């Protein structure tokens, strides 16, 4: 019987995650997986026990993937039946999870400008996986796909129509995380839910009857609430000031908004919420300010989405901060009593497992 495992490749702007999944009792279970980031690559089993770990800096994520797949081949010599990739942005035309074809690769090349930090990496990993696993079908799972149900009233910016026609609109991100949470709450998801995916990148989504109807990230993942190093929403006049008065060029402006803003800027250098909480407990006023701004922006968004949904039946926290920081969850929730009583849940994000679920379905359709 041929091997039926799914290899999941999840590339970020500065890290690579990978995992080999197999279906057991109707659900995708991790066999082996790991990550390459901060000069370390590791491999763990399905119980999160470290099997291998090396200190090594790779020239590219493609090289890191080659190293990881060599490890996987030693533990599981049969090749996977399919490969799934997380792709952050597919532009205006790639709005559904689908098999990777030469035509899809051309379309991704044409929309690099929508996510210049992410799409080139995804293309590189797809090509590297094709070399390592020729003839094995590959599938693209888009972070924007979950939000294709957003109505035009939420998707459009108040800009000329020709820009909307060019693809300048709200796309939304963290869609695979949100899909995984909806999947986990299947049968228990109420009509009106707000999910807060809070990590180094952070966003919220308003979910009605299991479908996205509004979300904070927009054309790019830099929009919405302040994040670890991203600014979130800004007055457009701020950008004009930086261009005209500070004489910033597009590259330096992009670097500022994505890497030197958010919690890092508010706190004077701390981007990790754990460091911020420790500093705030020690009386650091800048750390306290950063936490308060973060929580206030989340509370404002939850309240706004309660208006969009016509009420609130459930608030869900996910992501590294959402799952592990009781301080943030409590601060956000305590400011929302005026909305009435609603349950608050912590639901772990399962992005990679969700990719495996999608790939299994799409692969089975090929048979």
**What structural domains and CATH numbers belong to the chain?**
6-148+353-366 (3.30.420.40), 186-346 (3.30.420.40)
Residues 35, 43: Cα–Cα separation, whole Å: 7
d(CA 98, CA 362): 7
Residue range 85-104: mean pLDDT, rounded = 96
**Distance in angstroms (rounded) separating the CA atoms of residues 79 and 63:** 19
pLDDT digits (tens, 9 = 90+) for 270-304: 999 999 999 999 999 999 999 999 999 999 999 99
Percent of the chain with pLDDT over 90: 95
367 vs 87: CA distance, rounded Å: 24
Separation in Å, CA 6 to CA 105, 260, 279, 358: 21, 37, 42, 10
DSSP 80: P
Summarize pLDDT for 227-270 with one digit per residue, the tens.
Answer: 999 999 999 999 999 999 999 999 999 999 999 999 999 999 99
Which of 24, 26, 21, 23 is CA-nearest to residue 6? 21
Which range, of 42-46, 115-119, 199-203, averages the lowest pLDDT? 115-119
Strands (E), 237-330: 314-318
Positive or negative, the Cα torsion across 160, 163, 165, 169?
A: negative
Helix, strand or coil for residue 257?
Answer: helix
Quote the CA–CA distance of 215 and 171 in Å, as a whole number: 8
- The percentage of the chain sitting over the pLDDT mark of 70, rounded to a whole number, equals 99
pLDDT grade for 116, boundaries at 50, 70 and 90: confident
- Supply the DSSP symbol for 134: T
φ, ψ dihedrals at 94, nearest 5°: -95, 90
- pLDDT at residue 193, as a whole number: 98
Amino acid 14: pLDDT: 77
Average pLDDT over residues 217-227: 96
Q: What is the mean pLDDT of the chain?
A: 96
Q: Give the pLDDT confidence score for residue 333 in this predicted structure.
A: 96
> 23-26: which pairs have CB atoms within 8 A and are 24 or more residues apart?
23/360
Q: What is the pLDDT of residues 316-342, one digit of tens each?
A: 999 999 999 999 999 999 999 999 999
CA-based torsion, 93, 99, 100, 101: positive or negative? negative
Look at residue 1 in the predicted model and tell me its pLDDT.
33
In this predicted model, what pLDDT tens digit does every residue of 48-82 receive, in sequence order? 999 999 999 999 999 999 999 999 999 988 999 99
Would you name the residues annotated as active-site residues? 143
């Amino acid at each position: 019987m041929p091997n039926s495992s799914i290899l999941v490749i999840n590339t970020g702007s500065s890290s690579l995650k990978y995992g080999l999944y197999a279906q057991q009792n109707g659900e995708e279970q991790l066999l082996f997986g790991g990550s390459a980031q901060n000069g370390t690559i590791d491999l763990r089993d399905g119980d999160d026990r470290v099997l291998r770990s090396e200190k090594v800096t790779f020239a590219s994520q493609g090289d890191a993937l080659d190293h990881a797949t060599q490890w996987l081949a030693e533990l599981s010599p049969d090749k996977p039946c399919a490969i799934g990739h997380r792709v952050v942005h597919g532009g205006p035309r790639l709005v559904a999870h689908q098999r990777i074809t030469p035509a899809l690769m051309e379309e991704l090349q044409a929309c690099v400008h929508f996510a210049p930090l992410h799409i080139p990496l995804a293309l590189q990993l797809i090509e590297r996986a094709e070399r390592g696993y020729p003839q094995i079908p590959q599938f693209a799972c888009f972070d924007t796909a979950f939000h294709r149900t957003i109505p035009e009233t939420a998707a459009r910016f108040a800009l000329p129509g020709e820009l909307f026609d060019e693809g300048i609109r709200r796309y939304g991100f963290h869609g695979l995380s949100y899909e995984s949470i909806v999947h986990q709450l299947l049968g228990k998801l109420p009509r009106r839910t707000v999910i807060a995916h809070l990590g180094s990148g952070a966003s919220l989504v308003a979910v009605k009857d299991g479908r996205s109807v509004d979300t904070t990230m927009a054309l790019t993942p830099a929009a919405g609430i302040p994040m670890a190093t991203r600014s979130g929403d800004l007055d457009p006049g701020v950008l004009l000031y930086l261009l005209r008065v500070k004489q910033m060029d597009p590259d330096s402006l992009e670097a500022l908004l994505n890497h030197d803003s958010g919690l890092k800027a508010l706190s004077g250098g701390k981007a990790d919420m754990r460091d911020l909480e420790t500093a705030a407990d020690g009386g650091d006023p800048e750390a306290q300010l950063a936490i308060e701004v973060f929580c206030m922006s989340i509370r404002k968004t939850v309240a706004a989405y309660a208006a969009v949904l016509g009420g609130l039946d459930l608030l869900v926290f996910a992501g590294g901060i959402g799952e592990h920081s009781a301080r943030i969850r409590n601060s956000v929730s305590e400011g929302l009593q005026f909305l009435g009583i609603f349950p608050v849940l912590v639901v772990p994000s399962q992005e990679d497992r969700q990719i495996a679920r999608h790939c299994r379905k799409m692969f089975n359709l090929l048979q």
